[in-house]
Amino acid sequence: MKRTWITLAVIGVLSACSEQPSKTESTAAPQETLSLNTQATPPVAKKVPHELTAHGDTRVDNYYWMRDDERTDPEIIAHLEKENAYTDNVLAPLKQDRETLFEELVARVPKNDATVPYLKNGYWYHTEYEGEKEYPVYLRKPEKDGEESVLLDVNELAEGHDYYSVGQLSVSTNNNLLAYSEDTVSRRVYTILVKNLETGALLEDRLEDTSGEVQWANDNTHLYYIKKDLQTLLGYQVYRHKLGTDQSEDVLIFEETDPTFYTGMSKSKDGDVIYIHHSNTEKKGVTLIDANDANATAEPFLPIREGLEYHVAKLDDTYYILTNHQAKNFRIMKVAADSTADINAWEEVVAHDPAIFLNGMEVMQGYLVTSQKKNGIPSMMVRNLETGNAKTIPMADPIFNVGFYNNTQINADSVRIRYASLTTPPSVIDVNLATLEKDTLKQEQVSDDFNADNYASERLMVPAGDGKEVPVSLVYRKDSFKKDGTNPLYQYAYGSYGHTIDPSFARNWLTLVDRGFVVAIAHIRGSQMLGREWYEDGKMGNKINSFTDFIDVTTYLTQNGYADASRVYAMGGSAGGLLMGAVANMSPDSYDAIIAHVPFVDVVTTMSDASIPLTTGEYTEWGNPANADEYQYMLSYSPYDQMKAQDYPHMLVTTGLHDSQVQYFEPMKWVAKLREMKTDDNLLLFDVNMESGHGGASGRFERLKRSALEYAFIFELAGVDL
């Protein structure tokens, strides 16, 4: 998906809660006491009128000139550097605060840490972090307690690069070769390399311009990968590569000709089938490749149909299918492997329930495990495939987040899950399929004095203006929450693509709640928190509901004692940045400050230009401006177009020069136009990472510097001392 932005900086692993009292009382500081350098002069961008006409409507974009797809224009680079210099100048008095907050955030990250090992094809795989090192080391061992060997030390690979990210690792069936992908620019365009695990040497094979996904054929000689269009950044071609040959000789296995689809790839648990995944927001499907045939062709599981979505999992000669076929909130069906293309041969296994949103499944020998939501509360159910008996896995907290985690074995006697709540650090748990007995393999550690009892979480249902009720998840520190309208509020939401932000442990948010903040996740329309209809009621011609839901949540929380109306801080990133831009236009008085990370704010211009990366894949999310009614609706809320002469809140906007999802020039133009239009003296700061892209810095500590900047900015405005 294009505008997703879920990183550790946002939903970071909320860990560390201490026994000590909250760090400060919640008292607002008058704006005139700000210690920031408010006398600094912001850069003023030149205006070059550029007319954009569609459906008889002409828009004049004075900052269209800021787009440079090559990212080399000296004038544009110089302007971005001026923006960074201005931000640094304004925030210079907070230098010590930023350093203190950075150290606090870093201190919550375990220096020496390791993931829970999982078994795959005879080896146990895990990842380790060590000391002050920024990047992981990938390891494996032939026995659970055996001697481990290094697959990749990313710290070594990253040396000499301002940005470095490993996309995917894939080990050959004979366990001797490792294919892995790397991105050194942050445009999510990966190069695939192959390493001999016996000698440690790299093969000469080098596959350029890929999506980073790679799967082996079972002959250990061929591998499959997805080629990207370097202009649109869409992965659209699946190739088969033979080791030892040039990439130009690779065989095209599948080509996606519909530019509204995204293409992905994975492999069945038994290793026999490689899946090509096809996805847009209204239809999804799968194409199969026989991993045992080095000359296999791509065969559709079931041809893509309008409005039909399905995902599959193979068990012996049967496929289990999670689908919306005649089921708005999905059901599970099964079909014999030789009859997949006959939808009439599909048999129901789990019936559709309009009150339950079925959103995931794992299939093991003899068992089917499902994940679902009812009224926004998740659950997991284990179903015996022989008897049909189904039991719900018990969970500890009233509101929480739970998901499947590294279930690689068909013959497993347990299902592995990852569980967390707003007050409970993430745990990796094995659940016995027969008895539901739990074995907690690991719970993330934060600090020696952590005590979850210091914190509380709540689920509220907030009335929206049209009578719907919006779920809201809250977390706060018990000894500082007063419910008298004096606590500052940090309100976060995303609300697009059906992506749901479940209430989970975000260790970075402890920096806020330990200083008296209430943190709220508004589960607005556009997500699937309340099922498929909740998503459909917040996309396309209903997108405005996402924005009004967010504002209604703010109003409710301030009117009902949860928050100080003068100290509300809203944050969203990517498509959530669109949300921030819209609420800034619609209800600027509701927020003391708005933080918009990598914001998608120039909706109409971007969606009107198919050459802008990934745009065509978004037509079924936002609309296609070639259609007059969809053009007009997008125009009615597009933050860049709906800006007007009015007072705006304090604003902090961030981007990365190499962003592949939301191009840097969208927030750049937005900031320039905001400076031109706004009638207030509030701060408007623009922070540009000149080395990174959509997800920010690649190092686990380095990325926390932007969080420290954001929190220092908020605390200064809120009058909160460190």
Helix (H, G, I), strand (E, B) or coil at 61: coil
In angstroms, the CA 226 to CA 250 distance is: 11
Q: Report which of 499, 512, 607, 515 is spatially closest to residue 25, judged by C-alpha positions.
A: 515
Give dist(CA 606, CA 578) in Å, integer: 12
694 flagged as catalytic: yes
Please report how the helices 544-559 and 628-637 are oriented relative to each other, as an axis angle in degrees rounded to 10.
30
Measure Cα distances from 374 to 333, 467, 529 in Å: 20, 19, 9
Q: How far apart are the first and last CA of the chain?
A: 38
Nearest to 261 by CA among 240, 235, 300: 235
Strand spans (E) along 17-171 = 51-54, 57-60, 113-114, 118-120, 123-129, 137-141, 149-153, 165-171
Spell 242-254 as b/e; 16+ CB within 10 A means b.
bbeeebeebeebb
Structure tokens at 643: 């800006």
Q: Which of 659, 660, 687, 698 is catalytic?
A: 659
Cβ proximity of 6 and 493 under 8 Å: no
Which residue of the set 211, 574, 608, 692 is catalytic?
574
Residue 399 DSSP class: S
Phi, psi of 365 (to 5 degrees): -60, 110
Say whether 325 is catalytic: no
The CA angle 248-254-256, to the nearest 5 degrees, is 110
E-assigned strand segments in 604-681: 650-656
Buried b (16+ CB within 10 A) or exposed e, 44-59: ebeeeeeeeeeeeeeb
Contacts of 510 (CB under 8 A, 6+ apart): 14, 15, 16, 17, 108
Q: Locate the DSSP E strands across 219-307.
A: 222-228, 235-242, 251-255, 262-267, 273-279, 284-290, 298-300
Nearest CA to 518 out of 552, 551, 485 is that of 485
Distance separating alpha carbons of residues 169 and 178, to the nearest angstrom: 7
| Cβ neighbour number for residue 483 with a 10 Å cutoff | 12
Cα dist from 669 to 61, 563, 605, 657, whole Å: 9, 33, 12, 13
Q: What is the 3-state secondary structure (H, E, C) of 315-361?
A: ECCEEEEEECCCCCCCEEEEEEHHHCCCHHHCEEEECCCCCCEEEEE
CA distance 594 to 580: 7
- How far is the C-alpha of 690 from the C-alpha of 658, rounded, in Å? 7
Tokens representing 450 are 């952590």
Q: Considering 692, 694, 698, 707, which one is annotated as catalytic?
A: 694
Is 566 a known active-site residue? no
Report the run of H or E that residue 717 belongs to, with start and end: helix 704-718
Q: Could you give the residue numbers annotated as active site?
A: 574, 659, 694
